[in-house]
Amino acid sequence: MALVDTKKMFKAAYKEGFAVGAFNVNNMEITQGIIAAIAEEKAPLILQISRGAREYASMSYLRAIIDVAVAENPDIPIVMHLDHGDTFETCKQCVDDGFTSVMVDASHSSFEENIATTKKVVDYAHARGVVVEAELGQLGGIEEDVVGVHSDDVMKHLTDPDQVVEFVGKTGCDSLAIAIGTSHGAYKFKSEPKLAFDVIEEVGRKLPGYPLVMHGSSSVLKEFKDLINKYGGKMPDAMGVPEEAIGRAVKMAICKVNIDTDLRMALTAKIRQVFCETPGEFDPRKYLGPGREAIKKMVKHKLHVLGCAGKAAACL
């Protein structure tokens, strides 16, 4: 099967109360770890590529890796998605490069400018059969070179449910990332994590059947945080979104859940462990291999949290 878009996935996800995992890929080992997990769990998959990933690995390498993944897993629907496209030009380039889904993130502009930029991307993408995710409201943390709102202030920048009908109506975007109190990165909360479930509920009521997206959804798993801190790393205050909260959100209108930090931490934890336990080791396969295996195990677990394990066939 060739790459697919998100339409059927989101329809099934909304109807059946699960979400599709959207995992960021930057190199071969990360991609292989994710693919091994979805192949075993028979889950639909969104592989997402940021501008930073395009710069780091180059699109031709990433595309070749993803083409192999698609060819080797003909029963699994796989989407190639641009994460946080900041301008029309970036989104256009990705549509031209064969992405089946792009995100335009003009959430830092005014409401009117966000509508105008998003609409321009939607017109270009839809004419070429590509779906578009947009964003309304602002997340915390750092994404690419844009610093989001401070994690103390995320609750002041939540999506305004009164704006969503006009935004989706005027832009024609296919899904919407909403701000519900999460941040990108490993430092999402200072004390007890809180998510604005009332915003999901309210937006869901105003746009029945419409797929919503949750960014900043890593949980900062204790297992990897502890390994990183034990083996010379320094992430004592890292805190993520509890998995129970994610399990609750996916039963509502959240159909796509973005995860990057948990992948980074799994890989980093295992590499640190190998370096510390066997300081004489210098064969990259001996530390990237365990990192890839940790990613596979972690993603398998996440697919159950999201409820999308076993749902590949329902998305075809």
Binding residues vs ligand G3H (CB under 6 A): 24, 50, 52-53, 83-84, 143-144, 184, 260
- Binder of residue 217, out of ligand 13P, ligand G3H, Zn ion, none (CB less than 5 to 8 A by kind): ligand 13P
Which lies closer to ligand G3H via its Cβ, residue 11 or residue 93? 93
214 contacts 256 by C-beta, under 8 angstroms: yes
| 112 burial level (CB within 10 Å; 0-12, 13-18, 19+) | exposed
Which lies closer to ligand G3H via its Cβ, residue 185 or residue 291? 185
Place of tokens 């994460």: 83
Is residue 215 within the footprint of Zn ion (CB under 5 A)?
A: yes
Nearest distance in Å: CB 277, ligand 13P: 27
Which lies closer to ligand G3H via its Cβ, residue 31 or residue 73? 31
Q: What is the DSSP letter of 177?
A: E
DSSP string over 64-87: HHHHHHHHH-TTS-EEEEEEEE-S
Q: Binding residues for ligand 13P, per CB under 6 A?
A: 24, 83-84, 184-185, 215-218, 258-261
- Binder of residue 221, out of Zn ion, ligand G3H, ligand 13P, none (CB less than 5 to 8 A by kind): none
Is residue 81 within the footprint of Zn ion (CB under 5 A)?
A: no
Among residues 5, 67, 75, 83, which one is catalytic?
83
Nearest distance in Å: CB 278, ligand 13P: 29
# of chain residues touching Zn ion (CB under 5 A): 2
Angle subtended at Cα 160 by Cα 252 and Cα 164, rounded to the nearest 5 degrees: 70
Nearest distance in Å: CB 217, ligand G3H: 10
- Binder of residue 296, out of ligand 13P, Zn ion, ligand G3H, none (CB less than 5 to 8 A by kind): none
Question: Which amino acid, residue 182?
Answer: T
- Binder of residue 53, out of Zn ion, ligand 13P, ligand G3H, none (CB less than 5 to 8 A by kind): ligand G3H
Q: Residue 22: phi, psi to the nearest 5?
A: -115, 110
Active site residue 174: no
Token output for 6? 């998100």
Torsion (CA) 179, 241, 143, 127 in degrees, nearest 10: -60
d(C-alpha 26, C-alpha 60), whole Å: 12
Which lies closer to ligand 13P via its Cβ, residue 73 or residue 258? 258
Sorted by sequence, the CB contacts under 8 Å of residue 9 that are 6+ apart come out as 20, 44, 46, 77, 79, 255, 315
Which lies closer to ligand 13P via its Cβ, residue 5 or residue 83? 83
Residues designated as active site: 83
